[in-house]
Structure 1
């Protein structure tokens, strides 16, 4: 009848409207997250190139450690955005591919806080033992420290892979995932969850203690007459920034249990929206801080970074300030 046809048409129109709003919303959120991510990936890439452009940066331990931190943050940001775009496009991966991407993301997640600890210890030695700094913080020792940092992350990944063996792959019809790829989807079970919580707590408690002790040591050393007050003050500010970065990294690790709890009580569409907000504020934003903090604060990096950000254009406004810093480049 005409009434039934009218009802069917309204139902079809409502369904199409909901589908259109879903696509429009995905496009909007994808654009709002992809554009800033691409911008900061470019800035991080220029920052990484800057740290390899001059001999000063390649032969100074703190700049080598900064390069390692930026590299880990850049890889983490790129992987996070890749997984987000895959999920937004409703593309499902196979379990091996998803496992590789999530494990690589976990590796860089561990590298960042451990690198912050080593950088804090380097600042502590520079302020408290200035005469022995050159003999303790050498290029060789810095390389060994970076190898140990990546070894800690690799051991964590190896342990996760071994715990993943309890995942019920045999009960699956195929290796194709039914949902989008995420760390929650690759959770192995109760033993894996217990290990993840224990490792995260141990990592961030030890990192917090190390950075806090370094900060206290620098404050105590700053009160002595033999210590350079300006250098000690800069070191204190740097260590405080390291604590902030560590706190932001910790917030990204405790996000997964919170999302798991929210998934049980919220509808799927509300949960996805909250997950996107968490992704931008907790995962994406902290990965952009390192390049901004050190690119703006460091007097040696800032002029060279501006030079490359301006595509080597010698504007009269910035040329006097850049001339001394980029003389080698020119």
Structure 2
């Protein structure tokens, strides 16, 4: 598809959604806002409780894998909060200026890129713990973990800086946006769109290869008689969980393409309803799995997390 055709298709999507909202009754708009806002508030509370839990005891602050988990949940929580803010602005039809929308979408993009890269680091940490247990204490230290987290944020920031540079020379016709703020609304030039597709594909392909390679290494180590079978089983399940999380994050990245495809099949009001429902399952749900799964699986975190969740 050429960029001109893609831009025309995106314009049709935005028009259909905007006009479709006009056909929605006030009661229906309120109902959809409540149905999407309530799960988001619940998951924000759970994520916030998990973040507080990971800072409530010394063992969590001094264990590398818990530090990496904190970084992952922090990025997911920030992504969830920004996505909900953009959803509220779109539901209320509040138009922002290009700088305001750019800051929100770039921060959303930053936190969205941090999650898969952090999953790669966590997978490598599990690989070292199983395949090189004697070197794990010297390789995976608090200092090295901090350096890895800084590298994750720096690497993800490069993508944001590149996107900003690509937007600098675009001739904006005034600062006020004509449509609701969204990530796709900030793709103005063919180069920006192509770069975004190439970067996203390369990022998730590299992350998938790294996690699968770690899984293969763990499975190979399971054949050794000296390897702790229980540790291998837990590491294997954790790596499979990372693959599932990566797939869910990828689905949220492909959300716009899915809406594009459905817009050619269904009517505009149906697209608005599908977009609201898919927002819950594609955007909100992946951001709450980490604290729920890790918090309930880990014997150290579980009692502390349940204690704080029950106030």
TM-score, normalised to structure 1, is 0.85
Deviation of 1:254 after TM superposition, in Å, equals 1.6
Deviation at 1:264, TM superposition (A): 5.8
Aligned to 1:214: 214
- Shift of the 283–213 alpha-carbon distance from structure 1 to 2, 3 Å rule, reads same
Match of 1:159 among 136, 157, 162: 162
Instruction: Trace 1:273-288 onto structure 2 (pairs within 5 A).
Output: 273-288=273-288
Cross-structure match for 2:202: 202
Aligned partners of 2:114 and 2:156 also within 8 Å = yes
Q: Is the 8 A contact 1:208 1:243 kept in 2?
A: yes
| Counterpart in the other structure of 2:115 | 112
Report the equivalent of 1:256.
256
What's the CA shift for 1:281? 1.2
The one of 4, 11, 22 aligned to 2:25: 22
CA distance in 2 between counterparts of 1:224 and 1:151 reads: 38
TM-score (structure 2 length as normaliser): 0.90
Q: Distance in 2 between matches of 1:201 and 1:127?
A: 29
Measured after TM superposition, the shift of residue 189 of structure 1 is 1.6
Number of residue pairs matched by the alignment: 291
The alpha carbon displacement at 1:178 in A equals: 1.6
Computing the radius of gyration from Cα coordinates, the structure with the larger value is 1
Contact 1:117–1:211 (CA under 8 A) maintained in structure 2? yes
Matches within 5 A, 1:1-330: 21-169=24-172, 172=173, 174-263=174-263, 266-311=266-311
Q: Distance in 1 between matches of 2:154 and 2:195?
A: 18
Q: Distance in 2 between matches of 1:19 and 1:126?
A: 56
* 1:185 alignment partner, SS class: helix
In 2, Cα distance between equivalents of 1:47 and 1:288: 10
Gaps of at least 5 residues in structure 2 are 1-20
Equivalent pair of 1:165/1:188 in contact (CA under 8 Å)? no
| Native 8 Å contact 1:166 1:189 kept in 2 | no
- In structure 2, C-alpha distance between the alignment counterparts of 1:263 and 1:184, rounded to whole Å: 15
Higher relative contact order (CA 8 A, sep 6+): 2
1:260 to 1:21, Cα distance in 2 relative to 1, 3 A:
closer
Distance 1:20 1:196 in 2: 33
> Offset at 1:261?
4.4
